[in-house]
Amino acid sequence: MRGFLMRFVSVAGVFFALSLLVGSFDWPGQQCLAATTGGAKKSAPVPVEPTPSHFPNRAVAPCDWTPLMLLPVSSPRLFRGSDGLYNLVYEVQMLNYNAAASKVLSFEVLDQNGHVIKAYTPAELKKNTLNLKDAKAAKKDDKGNILPAGGSGIVWINLEFKDKESAPKELLHKVVVETDFAGKTRRFENAHQRVRVDEKSPVVIGPPLKGGRWYAAGGYAGDFGHRRALFPLGNRLVAAQRYAIDWLLMTDDDHVFTGSGKECSQYPGYGKPLIAVADGTVVGVVDKFPDQIPNHATGDQLAFYPGGNSVVIDIGNGNFAFYAHMKPGSVKVKEGQKVKRGEVIGLLGSSGNSTAPHLHFHVMDGPSILGSQGVPYVFDSFSVKGTANEAATEKAMEKDGVAPVVKSKFDGKHSDELPRESMLIVFPE
């Protein structure tokens, strides 16, 4: 839902500092990075420059220049979604370490045997890439796939497989770019970046809520919101919310609020109990912020305490469960307290960076709510009871509050899966 937890700043603004040039290095026949921001010259197609892999004797091979570098952000872990598909969700950073713009011609993901898993068309690459270039450097005809000198971008990668056996153990990324280099327009292939798939299983937990028809918003398969909330924190790129879900309760007649929707009490989820998803130890409690007025969130908490009143629970094995936007004065636990699965820890509210009462929940590999990496988790038991288009439901939040709920082919009982966004979920009472 628009304005929920991590939409508190412009994505372009968040990454502005990252798009600055990263130092100077004199390429052969070129000036330093900071000197040139012009794009590649238009020319007839040119062959990809030879690399050491083309030569039996690497001692006599040409230099393996990779002006567009591929850098890892995280290692993905396989998990099953509520649509029955197995998923690998992660990001790759592109860095144009060159004194001229680089045009990305192709981007492919391959398995450990060199078989192509996903080949992005220019349109798909544009949709799935956050290009951090300055708007003034953009070209109207570049389809969004030109990185300026020193520019950077993030490729959001979601891979889906019908079963566990189809998923690879290692991922290879290959990009082909065209750029001005050593006096000519040339094409380069970079196929060095490999990522091993983390062999850990997803974290199996119980529900954070009871019963309901809880609408899952902003999930792992989306192309905005939580899925794209990759931030520079602690001198590294982290996505604590990679698998986060905003849980919004709907009435039996598909309303997300009743009345005018201008008061928190008009939302059916407001004040509902939040429960521990596993046995654990409370390591963080915040309970000092008022509820926000629906669709009128204000205050410093938006940026510095976006979770508002919140609880972090260490659930063991390096995993931490995060509950955000709790009702003021409702937190029932304190730091250091042991909790049992199913124990009520507080009530659902709308504090922090929240446009309406809901629970923001995710699991991460550390106690920092944004400075940790999100890890995949699955609920051991739930049911699907319909689906509602996310964009249309968001509009309903601004109008009459009636969501366009329809039956889903995935309706019924589920286990050990992570709900996909837009589904309505019923948890055990």
**Burial level of 48, CB count in 10 A (0-12/13-18/19+)?**
middle
Looking at domain 203-427, its CATH class is mainly beta
Q: Residue 24 pLDDT > 80, yes or no? A: no
- Under 8 Å between Cβ of 27 and 99: yes
Q: Residue 45 pLDDT > 90, yes or no? A: no
What confidence tier does 61 reach under pLDDT thresholds 50, 70, 90?
confident
Sign of CA dihedral 330, 333, 335, 341: negative
Of residues 104 and 51, more confidence is placed in 104
Rounded Cα distance, 122 and 155, in Å: 12
Q: How far apart are the first and last CA of the chain?
A: 25
pLDDT of residue 224: 80
- Indicate the domain borders of the chain: 36-196, 203-427
pLDDT tens for residues 327-348? 999 999 999 999 999 999 999 9
**Among the residues of 226-349, which ranges form H helices?**
301-304
Strand segments (E) across 81-181: 86-96, 102-110, 116-120, 129-131, 146-147, 152-161, 170-181
pLDDT of residue 392: 83
Rounded Cα distance, 75 and 88, in Å: 9
Closest CA to 343 of 283, 280, 288, 285: 280
Structure-token pair, residue 188: 């380069």
Residues 36-196, CATH architecture? Sandwich (2.60)
* H or E segment to which residue 13 belongs: helix 11-14
pLDDT tens for residues 266-321? 999 999 999 999 999 999 999 999 999 999 999 988 989 999 999 999 999 999 99
pLDDT of residue 44: 55
Closest CA to 307 of 385, 371, 359: 359
- Under 8 Å between Cβ of 239 and 90: no
pLDDT tens for residues 74-83? 899 999 999 9
pLDDT tens for residues 154-204? 999 999 999 999 999 999 999 999 999 999 999 999 999 999 999 999 999
pLDDT of residue 134: 55
Sign of CA dihedral 356, 426, 319, 168: negative
Structure-token pair, residue 165: 């056996």
Structure-token pair, residue 6: 């991590």
pLDDT tens for residues 110-150? 999 999 999 998 889 988 998 877 545 545 545 568 899 99
- Under 8 Å between Cβ of 196 and 233: no
Q: Residue 25 pLDDT > 50, yes or no? A: no
Q: ∠ at Cα 131 (99, 11), nearest 5°?
A: 130
- Please state the rounded mean pLDDT for residues 20-49: 39
For 205, list phi and psi in degrees, rounded to 5.
Answer: -135, 170
By DSSP bridging, strand 203-205 and strand 377-379 are parallel
